[in-house]
C-alpha cells in the first residue's frame, strides 16, 4: 500500500473524530482484553504507511495495513451483534455517531500511550506527504530526507526509495514509476543519483494522487492497462519508446526492499560496461 492510500484512510477515520466508542471488539490476541468503550476518538493521523488513531485519555491505536488491510466505516451494528462482521475482521468499534469502524486483515494493531508514539514511528524518515491535513509532520525536512537516502551510497536507488527509514510513504508503485520518469536504471547506486528532482517529482505525484483521489494511476489515465508507465507491463511496449518493458521478480525473502521491478531498457539504460 502506498502512502497516499494510507492518508486517504486516515482522512476517513479522522472524519469520525469526537465520536465516542460504545463497544469495542478486538480479534487479535494481544488486544483480546482491551476495552475502549467510553473513549472518544480525538483524531487520526498518518506517518508514512502507519496510522495513529488517538483516543481520549492519552491512548493511541496504532495500525499498519501492509498490502491488504483496510479500515472501513459501516452502519452501526445492532445490539444483538448483527449484521455479521465480514471475515478477517481484527477490530470493530461501534460508535455513538451511528457508525462502526471495522478493521479487516489489519496485520499490525496495537494500543499504546500517545506519548509513546515515537516507539512505532520514530525510526521513519520524513513523510513524503508531510504537510497534508492528515500528516503528523507539517514540514517535509528536505535535508534530513536527502541525508537518510544517501546513507548507503552503493545501494540501488529503487531499494533506497522503498526503505521507510529514508523517506516514508513510498511503496513499490511510486518507486518504480519515478525511476522510469527520471530515466533512471533502477539499480543505479543512490550515491550517483541527482536525488533532489527525483524526490520532488515523487512528492508532487503522490501529493497529486492524494488531493485528487486518483489512486493508483501514475500516467493520469485511470483505465486499467493504461494507468502505469511500466509497473505490471512486462513484455509490453514501453508507452514512450515502444521497447519491451522488462521485469525482475522480487528476489530473496530476507531482503525486505527487494521487490518486483519493471523498467524500460531504452528509457532507463544501465551504465555501459
Ligand atoms: Zn522506453
Consecutive 10-residue averages of pLDDT for the chain (273 residues): 92 94 93 95 96 98 92 77 78 90 94 97 97 94 96 95 95 94 96 96 93 81 86 95 94 66 97 77
C-alpha grid cell, residue 195: 536525488
Number of neighbours of residue 235 by Cβ within 10 angstroms: 8
CA–CA dist 27, 109 (Å, integer) = 10
Distance 198 CA to ligand 1 centre (A): 18
CA distances to 11, 29, 99, 245 from 72, in Å: 11, 21, 10, 36
Distance 183 CA to ligand 1 centre (A): 9
219: left (phi over 0), alpha (psi -120 to 50) or beta: alpha
**Residues near 191 by beta carbon (within 8 Å), at least 6 away in sequence:** 150, 153, 154
Residues of the chain with CATH 1.10.8.50: 142-263
Distance 268 CA to ligand 1 centre (A): 7
Distance 272 CA to ligand 1 centre (A): 17
CATH hierarchy code of domain 3-121: 3.20.190.10
Distance 203 CA to ligand 1 centre (A): 23
Distance 244 CA to ligand 1 centre (A): 8
C-alpha grid cell, residue 252: 530473496
Distance 235 CA to ligand 1 centre (A): 12
Distance 229 CA to ligand 1 centre (A): 9
Closest CA to 125 of 101, 155, 147, 152: 147
| pLDDT score, position 255 | 59
Distance 67 CA to ligand 1 centre (A): 28
Beginning with the edge strand found earlier in the chain, give each strand of the sheet holding 89-95 in spatial order.
21-26, 89-95, 99-104, 70-75
C-alpha grid cell, residue 230: 511500466
**Residues near 272 by beta carbon (within 8 Å), at least 6 away in sequence:** none
Domain spanning 142-263: which CATH class is it, in words?
mainly alpha
| pLDDT score, position 79 | 65
Distance 246 CA to ligand 1 centre (A): 10
- The DSSP 8-state label assigned to residue 236 in this structure reads S
Distance 221 CA to ligand 1 centre (A): 18
Distance 73 CA to ligand 1 centre (A): 42
Q: What is the pTM of this model?
A: 0.90
Distance 245 CA to ligand 1 centre (A): 7
Checking DSSP bridges between strand 108-113 and strand 99-104, what pairing results, if any? Answer: unpaired
Distance 172 CA to ligand 1 centre (A): 19
Q: Which residue has the cell 546513507?
A: 151
Distance 148 CA to ligand 1 centre (A): 30
CB 136 within 8 A of CB 10: no
Number of neighbours of residue 216 by Cβ within 10 angstroms: 15
**Residues near 256 by beta carbon (within 8 Å), at least 6 away in sequence:** none
Distance 68 CA to ligand 1 centre (A): 31
| pLDDT score, position 77 | 67
261 phi/psi in degrees, rounded to 5: -130, 135
Residues of the chain with CATH 3.20.190.10: 3-121
Distance 167 CA to ligand 1 centre (A): 27
| pLDDT score, position 83 | 67
**Residues near 48 by beta carbon (within 8 Å), at least 6 away in sequence:** 3, 6, 121, 124, 125, 127, 128, 164, 168, 169
Distance 264 CA to ligand 1 centre (A): 5
| pLDDT score, position 67 | 84
Amino acid at each position: 500500500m502506498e502512502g497516499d492510500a494510507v492518508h486517504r484512510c486516515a482522512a476517513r477515520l479522522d472524519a469520525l473524530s469526537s465520536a465516542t466508542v460504545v463497544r469495542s471488539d478486538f480479534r487479535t490476541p494481544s488486544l483480546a482484553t482491551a476495552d475502549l468503550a467510553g473513549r472518544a476518538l480525538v483524531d487520526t493521523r498518518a506517518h508514512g504507511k502507519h496510522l495513529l488513531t488517538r483516543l481520549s485519555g492519552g491512548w493511541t491505536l496504532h495500525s499498519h495495513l501492509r498490502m491488504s488491510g483496510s479500515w472501513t466505516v459501516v452502519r452501526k451494528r445492532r445490539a444483538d451483534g448483527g449484521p455479521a462482521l465480514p471475515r478477517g475482521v481484527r477490530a470493530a468499534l461501534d460508535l455513538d455517531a451511528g457508525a462502526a469502524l471495522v478493521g479487516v486483515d489489519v496485520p499490525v494493531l496495537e494500543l499504546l500511550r500517545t506519548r509513546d508514539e515515537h516507539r512505532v514511528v520514530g525510526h521513519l524518515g520524513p513523510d513524503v506527504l508531510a504537510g497534508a491535513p492528515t500528516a503528523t509532520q507539517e514540514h517535509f525536512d528536505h535535508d534530513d530526507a536527502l541525508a537518510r537516502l544517501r546513507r548507503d551510497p552503493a545501494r540501488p536507488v529503487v531499494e533506497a526509495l522503498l526503505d521507510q527509514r529514508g523517506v516514508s510513504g513510498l511503496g513499490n508503485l511510486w518507486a518504480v514509476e519515478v525511476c522510469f520518469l527520471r530515466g533512471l536504471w533502477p539499480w543505479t547506486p543512490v550515491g550517483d543519483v541527482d536525488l533532489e528532482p527525483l524526490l520532488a517529482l515523487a512528492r508532487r505525484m503522490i501529493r497529486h494522487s492524494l488531493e485528487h483521489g486518483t489512486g493508483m494511476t501514475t500516467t493520469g489515465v485511470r483505465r486499467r492497462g493504461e494507468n502505469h508507465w511500466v509497473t505490471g507491463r512486462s513484455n509490453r511496449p514501453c508507452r514512450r519508446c515502444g521497447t519491451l518493458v522488462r521485469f525482475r521478480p522480487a528476489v530473496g525473502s530476507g531482503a525486505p526492499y527487494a521487490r518486483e521491478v519493471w523498467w524500460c531498457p531504452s528509457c532507463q539504460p544501465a551504465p555501459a560496461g
